[in-house]
């Protein structure tokens, strides 16, 4: 598997600016760009298997493909924000618009696709559901991975029990075991697959390569998350459905059959209204599919590359 390059861009904010990191795979000059945006407490290297597969399958195509996987601010190699209340979807959506503008300036895009897991899908709904936003070009195909306009309150409560508790670990294996205890909904993985997913989820506490490890993200991302109420979540649901109904991109919804965040009823509604998404349900998986299993990778790759 080839490796991605690490890149940065400066994004404006209320205090001046912050730096967002992104991982780029494939042909950096390709006019076909696929942006992959991760979930709430994850980071861009979650998409290593999918990005590598997309590059391999697109290899024979003219120009190949460019796969871009950002570390949303506060995560991975990106900066941490001064104001914790800025860790919300509007900030993330603005950063993605800045990213797309930079990618287009570096090498003009003719095709733009988006894969969004959980939070990455919510960001996509904001970006794709507002026709007046300054996108370089419209998103052509959109993958919403186990997320929709209706988000189950019980799932948010479950996530709040561990979000922001960065912890400290003596080894990568210890960290991987701790993360698996709260991530079994991701579905069955081999020990090797889970360790590969876990290695970019931790950083040395001291900033040096050796020593104890901590989770990669700013614990303050939990501050605005915990201030949400069931009432405010229901109010946001109305706005999200309006955004979803405005989406013009051809849309694929992936749902883990055991998901507690995206119900079967919500997924069916997504197939019936707005972009009338194609729905694929994955057995033995909850929230959220990691896009590591061969059938998941194949489903997304076929949708994006067909």
In order, the DSSP letters of 40-104 are TT--GGGGHHHHHHHHHHHTTSTT--EEEEEE-TTSTTSPPPSSGGG-SHHHHHHHHHHHHHHHH
CA–CA gap between residue 124 and residue 11 (Å, rounded) = 18
Asked if residues 185 and 179 have their Cβ atoms less than 8 Å apart, the reply is no
Report, as an integer, the average pLDDT of 145-150.
98
The CATH number of whichever domain residue 260 belongs to comes to 3.40.50.1820
CA 26 to mean position of chain CA atoms? 19
Q: CA-CA distance, 27 to 191, in Å (whole number)?
A: 31
Domain count, the chain: 1
pLDDT tier for residue 211 given thresholds of 50, 70 and 90: confident
Average pLDDT over residues 214-240: 94
Evaluate whether residue 216 is within a structural domain.
no
pLDDT at residue 59 is higher than 90:
no
**Domain residue limits at 292:** 5-153+238-305
Q: Over 80: is that where the pLDDT of 207 sits?
A: no
Helices and strands (H, E) in the chain, number of each type? 10, 10
Residue partners of 62: CB distance under 8 A and separation at least 6: none
> Cα–Cα distance between 233 and 230 in angstroms, integer?
5
* Residue 132 belongs to some domain of the structure: yes
Q: What CA–CA distance (Å, rounded) separates 42 from 65?
A: 24
Kindly report, residue by residue over 250-293, the tens digit of the pLDDT: 999 999 999 999 999 999 999 999 999 999 999 999 999 999 99
Q: Is residue 30 part of a domain?
A: yes
pLDDT reading at 297 higher than 80: yes
In the chain, alpha helices (H): 48-58, 89-106, 119-128, 153-160, 172-183, 191-198, 222-227, 230-246, 264-272, 294-305
Kindly state whether residue 43 falls inside one of the protein's structural domains. yes
Element (H, E) at 182: helix 172-183
Residues 88, 119 contacting (CB under 8 angstroms): no
Q: Which of 290, 147, 163, 267 is nearest to 215 (CA)?
A: 163
Residue 17 domain-assigned (yes or no): yes
Average pLDDT over every residue of 286-306: 97
Contact between 119 and 289 under an 8 Å Cβ cutoff? The reply is: no
Work out the mean pLDDT of the chain and round it to a whole number: 95
Q: Quick one: pLDDT band at residue 191, thresholds 50, 70, 90?
A: very high
Distance separating alpha carbons of residues 90 and 120, to the nearest angstrom: 12
Helix (H) / strand (E) element for 133: namely none
Cα–Cα dist 203/201, whole Å: 7
172 domain residue, yes or no: no
The CB-side HSE value for 95 (13 A sphere, CA atoms) comes to 32
What pLDDT sits at residue 167?
Answer: 81
**Cα radius of gyration rounded to whole Å, the chain:** 18
pLDDT band at 208 (very low <50, low <70, confident <90, very high): low
In a domain, 173, yes or no: no
Of the ranges 33-42, 140-149, 205-214, 281-290, which one carries the lowest mean pLDDT score? 205-214
40's tokens:
């709430």
Distance CA 122, CA 24 (A): 22
Instruction: Specify if 166 maps to a domain.
Output: no
């Amino acid at each position: 598997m080839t490796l991605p390059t690490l890149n940065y861009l400066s994004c404006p904010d209320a205090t001046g600016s912050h730096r967002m990191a992104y991982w780029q795979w494939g042909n950096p000059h390709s006019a076909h760009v696929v942006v992959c945006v991760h979930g709430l407490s994850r980071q861009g290297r979650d998409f290593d298997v999918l990005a590598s597969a997309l590059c391999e399958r697109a290899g024979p195509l003219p120009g190949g493909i460019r796969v871009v996987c950002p570390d949303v601010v506060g995560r991975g190699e990106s900066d941490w924000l001064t104001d914790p209340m800025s860790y919300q979807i509007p900030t993330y959506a603005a950063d993605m618009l800045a990213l797309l503008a930079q990618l287009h300036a570096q090498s003009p895009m003719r095709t733009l696709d988006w894969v969004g897991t959980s939070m990455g899908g919510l960001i996509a709904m904001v970006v794709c559901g507002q026709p007046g936003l300054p996108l370089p070009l419209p998103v052509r195909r959109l993958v919403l991975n186990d997320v929709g306009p209706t988000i189950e309150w019980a799932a948010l409560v479950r996530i709040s029990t561990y979000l922001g508790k960065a912890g400290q670990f003596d080894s990568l294996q210890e960290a991987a075991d701790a993360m698996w205890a709260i991530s079994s909904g991701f579905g069955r993985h081999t020990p090797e697959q889970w360790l590969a997913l876990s290695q970019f989820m931790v950083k040395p506490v001291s900033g040096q390569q050796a020593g104890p490890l901590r989770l990669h993200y700013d614990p303050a991302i939990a501050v605005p998350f915990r201030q949400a109420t069931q009432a405010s979540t229901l109010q946001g649901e109305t706005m999200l459905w309006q955004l979803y109904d405005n989406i013009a991109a051809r849309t694929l919804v992936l749902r883990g059959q055991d998901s507690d965040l995206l119900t079967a009823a919500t997924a069916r509604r997504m197939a019936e209204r707005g972009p009338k998404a194609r729905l694929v349900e994955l057995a033995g998986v909850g929230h959220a599919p990691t896009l590591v299993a061969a059938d998941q990778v194949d489903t997304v790759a076929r949708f994006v590359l067909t």
